Structure 1
Amino acid sequence: MAEKTVSAEQLAQKMREVSVAEFFEKNRHLLGYENPTKSLITIIKEAVDNSLDATNEGGILPDIKVSVKEVGVDRFRIIAEDNGPGVIEEKIPLAFGKLLYGSKFHRLRQSRGTQGIGISGAILYSQLTTGKHAVVTSSTGKEIHSVELLIDVTKNDPLIVSHKEEKNPDKWHGIRIEMEAEGRYIEGKQSVLEFLKQTAVANPYAKIIYDGPSGKTTFDRVVNELPIQPKEIKPHPYGVELGILRRMLANTQARNMVGFLTTEFSRVGRSSAEQMLQLAKLDNKKPKDIVHDEAERLHKAIQMVKLVSPPTDCLSPMGEKIIEEGMKKEVEAEFFVAVTRPPAVYRGNPFQIEVGLAYGGKLPADSGAQLYRFANRVPLLYHQSDCATHEATVDTDWRRYGFSQSSGQLPQGPLVILIHFASVYVPYTSEGKQAIADYPEIIKEMKLALQEAGRQLSIYVRQKNKRKEAQLRRDLFERYIPELAESLEKLTDEKKEKIIEGLEKIVKKGVKTDETGNKKEPEAAGK
């Protein structure tokens, strides 16, 4: 019997548009909701990232409160609150109940979130795993608005369950989000507490109070100054692909091609624009009249013209002082060093690499180094081996700096390695945003920063080892003083006690101290 066939018309009847919310509901792993443990961390991450971005842009030192409480088997109530500028009443449902809705996607400047998916994705996951609505409370300093909402996944639109307005006598401003979600709570390297600890390292100007299942932890503010706000820039021609160039040509308000090139891009002056048109064999006509072949010639010509690198005031690096202060606050080590590299460029996108090293102290000496990875000040806890930071670290020869290291592995010893990648566009390997792609330019800058910091650390390590060896020699000599005194007593008329006293004076005189009070070897005889 012949199989029943389906006609094109019947297939066409089944076709329909899939909303972005519906897509991510079925593919939540793309947003970081891969398993219950990581899902809980992802919710906290999205809420804290939003709070830090909002307070930074509002010029407010962040006070952030996070609460995670178990309300059932593998079910948690999550509350995150900040003191940011808040969201105006009419934008609350859209900002939290519609995916791909936000203010950062089209601008080129460093920020934590850019896609408009983060916090609405967390609410979508909460709704998917518990069926409950989220509660968003916001105030700009006037009335307080509390909105209970769900997401209509078929339309990617918010569904408002209720909306309450209250008076605000204390003039509170900020956002408070409450939701329930499925998750699994653990403590250790990949945990909510570890994420907040590393967030405090990278953002020491923030005060974070965490109330978790195991009790309350406060990460105090140690810096009372906000980072410099990055400025928005226009795209650099080297980073624009052909399809984007064609769309820009169709949408520009410029009247001619020279105007288009000089106003829509950074670092393009009139002479550079005319050179591009000459190489592409194009007239100075209306951009909207450019056809596909002409656009392709222009795209190739752009790459042939030498241009200045894009502006770097769109970046806001942590800075060496902040890195050291942040690490000292949360890492119990004895020596700290930080390096901030000059800005560089990949695919037309400016970026900057920073490295911090913490050594010794209470760090475990018999295990591998700990790697703290950050992208625009956000900790990356998962997919370490897939990340450019890991590749650059294991490719660095740490034996030069006094550490043992197996091939393809992190160095061994009491060491914390911090790498921060700051850019207008972070090339994550997936939508989960946990690993940075290994562009050669990025790897190169990371290795240069690691090597510079490693050289500074090696000076301290060598001096410490030298002092340790001197102390061992002294201890060894002191151990045999009684035997030596006994032998000398037999050879001389001196009493043993006096000989011991004299030998001990020689030892004490031979071991001097440096400016910090650390013992150092005696100077060579004859000096």
Structure 2
Amino acid sequence: MGSRSASRSYIEQTIIANPHVKLTYLSPEGETKEYPRTFHELPPAPREIKPHPYGIELGMLLKMLQDTKSHWLSGFLASDFSRVSPHLAEDICKAAKLSPRARPRDIHGEAAEGLYKAIQSTKIMAPPTNCLSPIGEKAILSGVYQQIKGEFYTAVTRPPAVYRGNPFVIEAGLAYGRGPEQAGEGQEKKPVALAEGEQQQDDHELARVIRYANRVPLVHQQSACAIYKAVLDTTWRTYGVTQSKGALPAGPMVIFVHMASVWVPFTSESKEAIADYDEIRKEITLALRECGRRLGAFLRRQERAQSEYRRRDIFELYIEEVVDACNRLKGGKLPTKKLKEQLHKIAMTRTGGEKTDEVLGKTGGGPEGLPHSIIVTPEGIEGEVSVSIATAPTEAVPPEGAPGEEEKAAKRTRPKGRARHEESGKSKDARAMRRVKPTPRHKTDASKPAGTPRKSAKRRKA
């Protein structure tokens, strides 16, 4: 049973990092489960590049010196490495005290060590980054949103960086909350009677970290991975999430971190954990901090908006009483409807106005100031990419009688309130116009002139 659940978990994690893939899983028991494609853009194809001088070791340099087709040392450096020009190759030879016209196969021993040290001490431009194929922020949002239930989603892609001559890109994503359905179930759950001296246990679950290297999930050796260490070192309390010292943040949260590189530094041959390099740790930390800032902004907005909304509810409770009292003072001649509208407007203005409704998802607007993020509310999803996710075409055909994806998307994007009534009214008018389409009382032949009299029909004899 454990192996089956582990296999499904691995497949689900693979789908998160590869939302452009449609996958069908056939279990040993004969069960078939399909994972449809949720992102309809293929990732950019990486390009092949030559090795960078900073990314090789002494043993690799010796092997390249023996396998090269160049006859001169300067030609070997300029043709077999990236970002090395002929002029820079001559400078490296001078620093190593070797002739630029020396044969590469004759260089070994101390000469090779001197050449290696000269390469490491020479300032060389960083390697190109078109050899990488990152997932992308929108694709991460699509994968995380489809596989993990939550209230808030965000994704960050860092600019390309270099460690030891190897380019790499760090991407991070975050899903927070339990989703409207799970939150409702938690509120409806009644407290259980406790015995004397027994305390209610708080289910403060720890955050889950899912790690990837070149779109492949890393399942084992989590504590030895640089990603896990960076998550522990991040101060999540700053962003409104509880965290004990030396532990993962507490709460319904999933943290996604992906490293795309031409050479991922694993801790062992099993390729289950990423080695802890300073450059890699720095990029992971910066990506996690950006996700944390967006999460903190979302939580602060939610808390402030809920407080203002509660104040508005209290004000609205007394509006009827105030209007009735004022009407009695005026002898029943006060326009109560107009006064109610004015008081409602004042209450809304004093409690944040449309900003409060927007944060709580009452208007259907996007999360302002939170780029590449999704907010899930009981009324639907919000965000700049929410529409593309909700209305993305799917290849799977629903069975007969089951609602299709288009119907579900239409329900999620259906207008609310006054807009819905206006739209329904327009549709009714359109249907009425189609039903009462005027038809000519007498059909005329276009080939005949307009003034030609019509012949009377002959009656049949009885």
Q: What range describes the TM-score normalised by the shorter chain of this pair?
A: 0.5 to 0.7
Instruction: Report how far residue 477 of structure 1 moved.
Output: 5.7
**What TM-score, normalized by structure 2, do the two folds share?**
0.64
Write out per-residue CA displacement over residues 68-115 of structure 1, whole angstroms, 9 at most, x where no aligned residue. Answer: xxxxxxxxxxxxxxxxxxxxxxxxxxxxxxxxxxxxxxxxxxxxxxxx
Select which of 129, 137, 142 maps to 1:325: 142
2:249 is paired with a residue whose SS is coil
Distance (whole Å) between structure 2 residues aligned to residue 368 and residue 362 of structure 1: 17
Select which of 342, 354, 378 maps to 1:513: 354
Quick check: 1:205 aligned with 2:48?
Answer: no
Write out per-residue CA displacement over residues 359-389 of structure 1, whole angstroms, 9 at most, x where no aligned residue. Answer: 2342989422221211101111222221111
Counting only pairs closer than 5 Å after superposition, residues 9-408 of structure 1 correspond to structure 2 as: 185-187=3-5, 191-212=6-27, 213=29, 215-283=31-99, 284-362=101-179, 366-408=204-246
In the superposition, relative to structure 1, how do residues 471 and 279 fare at CA in structure 2: closer, same or farther (>3 Å)?
same
Which residue of structure 1 lines up, in the alignment, with residue 447 of structure 2? none
In the superposition, relative to structure 1, how do residues 255 and 466 fare at CA in structure 2: closer, same or farther (>3 Å)?
same
Instruction: Report how far residue 454 of structure 1 moved.
Output: 2.0
Task: Judge conservation of contact 2:17–2:215 (CA < 8 Å) in 1.
Answer: yes
Distance (whole Å) between structure 2 residues aligned to residue 328 and residue 519 of structure 1: 21
**Which runs of 5 or more residues in structure 2 are unaligned?**
184-203, 364-462
1:274 is paired with a residue whose SS is helix
Task: Judge conservation of contact 1:267–1:310 (CA < 8 Å) in 2.
Answer: yes
Task: Judge conservation of contact 2:177–2:252 (CA < 8 Å) in 1.
Answer: yes
In the superposition, relative to structure 1, how do residues 383 and 479 fare at CA in structure 2: closer, same or farther (>3 Å)?
farther
- 1:195 corresponds to which letter in structure 2? Y
Distance (whole Å) between structure 2 residues aligned to residue 505 and residue 430 of structure 1: 70
Number of residue pairs matched? 331
Task: Judge conservation of contact 1:467–1:519 (CA < 8 Å) in 2.
Answer: no
Instruction: Report how far residue 438 of structure 1 moved.
Output: 1.0
In the superposition, relative to structure 1, how do residues 479 and 339 fare at CA in structure 2: closer, same or farther (>3 Å)?
same
Select which of 231, 255, 259 maps to 1:417: 255
Distance (whole Å) between structure 2 residues aligned to residue 390 and residue 477 of structure 1: 48
Which residue of structure 2 lines up, in the alignment, with residue 25 of structure 1? none
Instruction: Report how far residue 318 of structure 1 moved.
Output: 0.6
Distance (whole Å) between structure 1 residues aligned to residue 274 and residue 139 of structure 2: 23
2:270 is paired with a residue whose SS is coil
Instruction: Report how far residue 247 of structure 1 moved.
Output: 1.6
Which residue of structure 1 lines up, in the alignment, with residue 419 of structure 2? none
Which residue of structure 1 lines up, in the alignment, with residue 267 of structure 2? 429
Root-mean-square deviation (CA, aligned residues, Å) is 3.2
Task: Judge conservation of contact 1:369–1:414 (CA < 8 Å) in 2.
Answer: yes
Distance (whole Å) between structure 1 residues aligned to residue 319 and residue 178 of structure 2: 32
- 2:347 corresponds to which letter in structure 1? G
Select which of 439, 444, 447 maps to 2:285: 447
Distance (whole Å) between structure 2 residues aligned to residue 494 and residue 434 of structure 1: 81
Instruction: Report how far residue 434 of structure 1 moved.
Output: 1.9
In the superposition, relative to structure 1, how do residues 293 and 185 fare at CA in structure 2: closer, same or farther (>3 Å)?
closer
In the superposition, relative to structure 1, how do residues 494 and 419 fare at CA in structure 2: closer, same or farther (>3 Å)?
farther
Task: Judge conservation of contact 1:328–1:336 (CA < 8 Å) in 2.
Answer: yes
**Which runs of 5 or more residues in structure 1 are unaligned?**
1-36, 38-183, 521-527
Instruction: Report how far residue 321 of structure 1 moved.
Output: 1.2
Write out per-residue CA displacement over residues 418-468 of structure 1, whole angstroms, 9 at most, x where no aligned residue. Answer: 111000111122222221111111000001111122222322222111111
1:430 is paired with a residue whose SS is coil
Which residue of structure 1 lines up, in the alignment, with residue 437 of structure 2? none
- State the structure with bigger RCO (CA 8 A, min sep 6), 1 or 2: 2
Distance (whole Å) between structure 2 residues aligned to residue 471 and residue 329 of structure 1: 30
Task: Judge conservation of contact 2:316–2:347 (CA < 8 Å) in 1.
Answer: no
- 1:427 corresponds to which letter in structure 2? P
- 2:10 corresponds to which letter in structure 1? F
Percent identity among equivalent residues?
46
Distance (whole Å) between structure 2 residues aligned to residue 390 and residue 311 of structure 1: 28
Write out per-residue CA displacement over residues 266-286 of structure 1, whole angstroms, 9 at most, x where no aligned residue. Answer: 111111111111111111210
2:179 is paired with a residue whose SS is coil
Distance (whole Å) between structure 2 residues aligned to residue 206 and residue 452 of structure 1: 28
- 2:147 corresponds to which letter in structure 1? E
Task: Judge conservation of contact 1:337–1:453 (CA < 8 Å) in 2.
Answer: yes
Task: Judge conservation of contact 1:478–1:504 (CA < 8 Å) in 2.
Answer: no
**What TM-score, normalized by structure 1, do the two folds share?**
0.57
Distance (whole Å) between structure 2 residues aligned to residue 354 and residue 202 of structure 1: 11
Write out per-residue CA displacement over residues 18-56 of structure 1, whole angstroms, 9 at most, x where no aligned residue. Answer: xxxxxxxxxxxxxxxxxxx8xxxxxxxxxxxxxxxxxxx
Instruction: Report how far residue 352 of structure 1 moved.
Output: 0.6
Task: Judge conservation of contact 1:200–1:206 (CA < 8 Å) in 2.
Answer: yes
Which residue of structure 2 lines up, in the alignment, with residue 456 of structure 1? 294
- 2:141 corresponds to which letter in structure 1? E
Write out per-residue CA displacement over residues 117-160 of structure 1, whole angstroms, 9 at most, x where no aligned residue. Answer: xxxxxxxxxxxxxxxxxxxxxxxxxxxxxxxxxxxxxxxxxxxx
Distance (whole Å) between structure 2 residues aligned to residue 494 and residue 208 of structure 1: 74
Task: Judge conservation of contact 2:172–2:287 (CA < 8 Å) in 1.
Answer: yes
Distance (whole Å) between structure 2 residues aligned to residue 507 and residue 236 of structure 1: 67
Write out per-residue CA displacement over residues 476-508 of structure 1, whole angstroms, 9 at most, x where no aligned residue. Answer: 5667889x88xx89x98999xx99x98898467
Task: Judge conservation of contact 1:315–1:424 (CA < 8 Å) in 2.
Answer: yes
Task: Judge conservation of contact 2:211–2:258 (CA < 8 Å) in 1.
Answer: yes
